Amino acid sequence: MRLWHVDLLKYLPKGQLLSQWRELNSIFAKEDKHILINYIYEYSKNDLYVYTEKVIEEMKKRGYQIRSYEKMNKYFENLESVKHVKPFKNHHDNEYLQICYYNLKEKFIRGQKDFEEEMYNNLCWYVNDILKNSIDGFK
């Protein structure tokens, strides 16, 4: 279980993006605990809501159909106002960007069928541009 770095959603292959929606629905239904996502419970539901909206936006942009928002709506039903901030800002940092990038790089190298070369190249350009302009850079 993983919530991909928010800035990488537009570079995810179809399989990872659709899995992201399934994982979010699992969180909505059971408030799953997993070592790779436990950090989300340190934040307000605002962050998860904004993240979820970004996943939905990317899915719609690609023409993917969402059959039901039932679990999402129930999970967020008491959320009063939403501040549209960068979600999980202390965890979705440059280090996590690198972690997600290398995970996706391995999927591409190993031949994931739905990971097109153009999308992978765009991912590489984006990540390299972000990291070369950051203080952290590649470590």
Q: Which tokens hold the place of 93?
A: 């940092």
Q: What is the model's pTM?
A: 0.91
CB 11 within 8 A of CB 117: no
pLDDT of 37-91, one tens digit each?
A: 999 999 999 999 999 999 999 999 999 999 999 999 999 999 988 888 899 999 9
CB 5 within 8 A of CB 92: yes
* Burial readout 20-55 (b: 16 or more C-beta within 10 A, e: otherwise): bbebbbebbeeeeeeeebeebeebeebbbbbbbebb
Which contiguous run of DSSP H or E holds residue 12?
Answer: none
